[in-house]
Amino acid sequence: MTRTRIAKIDPNSPDDGLIREAVKLMMQGFPIAFPTETVYGLGVCARSPKGIEAIYAIKGRSQGKPLQLMISDLDMLKLVIKTIPDKATPLMEKYWPGPLTIIFKTNTTFAAAQQRATVAIRYPNHPIPLSIIRRLENPLAATSANLSGRLSPRRAVEVFEQLDGKIPLILDGGSCTVGQESTLVDMTLEKPKIVRQGALSAEELSPYLS
């Protein structure tokens, strides 16, 4: 692949032409990088086996580590999970959209979640990934836009330093406002628990997990 292109994009009012370009590349199986409120993400259409395999190859990521799915509304959530646990509803009402990823039981046929009993879902609070997802009309299979074992990038230049020549496009929407990965909570357990500490603290979430 040739040198990766960085395209400046307004994070508050994303240019539709750049969103269309990103979606076209994703539909062809090419992962692209984009900002979220937490860190920069690397994503493809969740229905693209080629794109999902490319993400694992680009990052050097273990196949045993599933990708998350990003959604743009709660109607999309219903496409990929069996049920919403009662305990998850107040958590979603409080922190979605936002820096929280929730693990649910899955019923999805999306390539990113096939042959898995659970799926991690995030509803980001950022116009750029939301615009991409809406244009795709499908969830994004996504992860942080870094090489495995390296720090998650907060700026487009940090993505470029790690992934130049590995992906065709980085949407540069400036620095991520939160600058820390989302907190990951497993709601499939009888007693829900935090799997990965992130932007939301255990103290903040504890009233919703008891």
Question: Would you kindly state where each structural domain of the chain is located, as residue ranges?
Answer: 5-209
Q: Is the peptide bond before 35 cis (omega within 30 degrees of 0)?
A: no
Residue 49 and residue 22: Cα distance in Å, rounded?
17
pLDDT at 82: 83
pLDDT average, residue stretch 4-30: 97
Q: Is beta strand 193-196 parallel, antiparallel or unpaired with respect to 183-186?
A: antiparallel
Tell me what pLDDT residue 146 has.
Answer: 97
Backbone torsions φ then ψ of 113, nearest 5 degrees: -125, 10
Per-residue pLDDT band at 2 (split at 50, 70, 90) = confident
In 3D, which of 120, 104, 108 has the Cα closest to residue 65? 120
Residue 128 above 90 pLDDT? yes
Asked whether 106 and 78 are in contact (CB, 8 A), the reply is: no
**pLDDT higher than 90, residue 27:** yes
Residue 81: pLDDT over 70: yes
Cβ atoms 66, 196 nearer than 8 A: no
Predicted pLDDT at 210: 80
How much is the average pLDDT of 128-145?
97
* pLDDT digit string, tens, across residues 32-43: 999 999 999 999
- Please say if the pLDDT value at position 187 is more than 80: yes
Task: Please give the mean pLDDT across all residues of the chain.
Answer: 94
| Helix/strand/coil for 197 | coil
What is the model's pTM? 0.95
Task: Say which residues have a Cβ less than 8 Å from residue 30's Cβ, sequence separation at least 6.
Answer: 44, 51, 54, 167, 168, 169
Query: Can you name the residues that pair with 42 across neighbouring β-strands?
Result: 33, 143
| Diameter over CA atoms, the chain | 51
> How sure is the predictor about 106, in pLDDT bands with cuts at 50, 70 and 90?
confident
What is the predicted pLDDT for the residue at 192? 94
Q: Quick one: CA torsion of 202, 69, 84, 194, rounded to 10 degrees?
A: -20
CATH top-level class of 5-209:
alpha beta
The pLDDT of residue 110 is: 66
* pLDDT computed for residue 112 by the predictor: 60
Q: What integer pLDDT is reported at residue 95 of this predicted model?
A: 97
> What CA–CA distance (Å, rounded) separates 119 from 82?
10
Q: Residue 117: which pLDDT band, with cuts at 50, 70 and 90?
A: confident
